[in-house]
Homo-oligomer: A and B are copies of this chain.
Amino acid sequence: MKKIHIVGLGLLGGSFALALKRVLPHIVFTGYDNNQKNLEDALNLGIIDEIKQKADPDTDIIILSTPADTLTFLLKECLDNINENTLVIDFGSAKSKLCKSVEDHPKRHQFLAGHPIAGTEYSGPKAAKSDLLENKVFIICEMEKTDIHLKAKAYEVLEALNMKIRFMDPEEHDSQLAFVSHLSHISSFMLGKTVLDKMEDDRNIFDMAGSGFASTVRLAKSSPAMWAPIIQENKKNILEALSMYILNLSKFRDKILADDYEGIYHEMEKINKIKDILDLK
């Protein structure tokens, strides 16, 4: 492993490079970002060693860590142009459409569909942290479709990063992520909107906000440039999760309207079991 090229020098792409540089310092990182400021920041922060719009022919791995709606185009372009020793990995948060888009590509075996389950509400190279990926889950979809020798390159870096590898098919991935990640972002954004709307009457409302509100609304700080495309790419599953969520909220409201506080108590008590499940993780 000598050279890695990163397209999209934001939180994930940047954190990936910073972490690998600590443990595999001999690797050369090249990279590109459409945003000139990100490009300069990435170079200044040492995320990449050299700006290159196109990966060198001797690149071992190309990482695609751009917004979800750009990946189909970028992946095809990459596969069309790479040498046979280069592996392309994407970090996208939606996998079905992307995997489908290259299923008949002659170089499909040079692609690994990946998704590191890590992030913060911040974005851009300045938000990158060398420990962001440490011990986090890395999901691989359709692993059997990737060439075994190229797959070894992926394992080399994922193991160097101490990531926990999980295998899923793309549909299962997109359905589960809609519930445990994408829905959280929407619930948080809409909570933020509801309180901001209320703030138009009460200027000081945020004074009253405690740590509970800060925690539930944190994801509303996330980047629209990243999240609008994820919603687009995972529309079907997100609509399912969001509809179930709205239905649950509406039923809860019905219980309040009916003064059914015993029902509310028992419902909350059942949901409390999430404590044990999360603590197991």
Contacts and interface: CB of A to CB of B under 8 A. Distances in A.
A39 interface: no
Contact of A256 (B187, B199, B238): B238
Interface in A172-205: 172-173, 175-177, 179-181, 183-199, 202, 204-205
Copies of this chain held together in the complex: 2
Interface string A207-223: 11111111111111110
A132 to B, nearest CB: 10
24 contacts: A117-B210, A137-B208, A137-B210, A166-B208, A179-B195, A179-B198, A180-B209, A181-B209, A181-B212, A183-B191, A183-B195, A186-B249, A194-B241, A194-B248, A196-B270, A196-B271, A196-B274, A198-B244, A212-B219, A224-B265, A231-B256, A231-B261, A235-B256, A242-B256
Interface of A: 69, 117-121, 136-137, 139, 166, 172-173, 175-177, 179-181, 183-199, 202, 204-222, 224-225, 227-229, 231-232, 235, 238-239, 241-246, 248-250, 252-253, 256-257, 259, 261-262, 264-275, 277-278, 280-281
A48 B241 CA distance: 47
Pairs of residues from A and B, 6 with the lowest C-beta to C-beta distance, nearest first: A224-B268, A228-B265, A180-B209, A184-B216, A221-B275, A117-B210
Per DSSP, chain A at the interface is helix
Given A121-B212, A137-B207, A194-B248, 6 more contacts: A196-B270, A198-B241, A216-B219, A242-B253, A246-B253, A249-B249
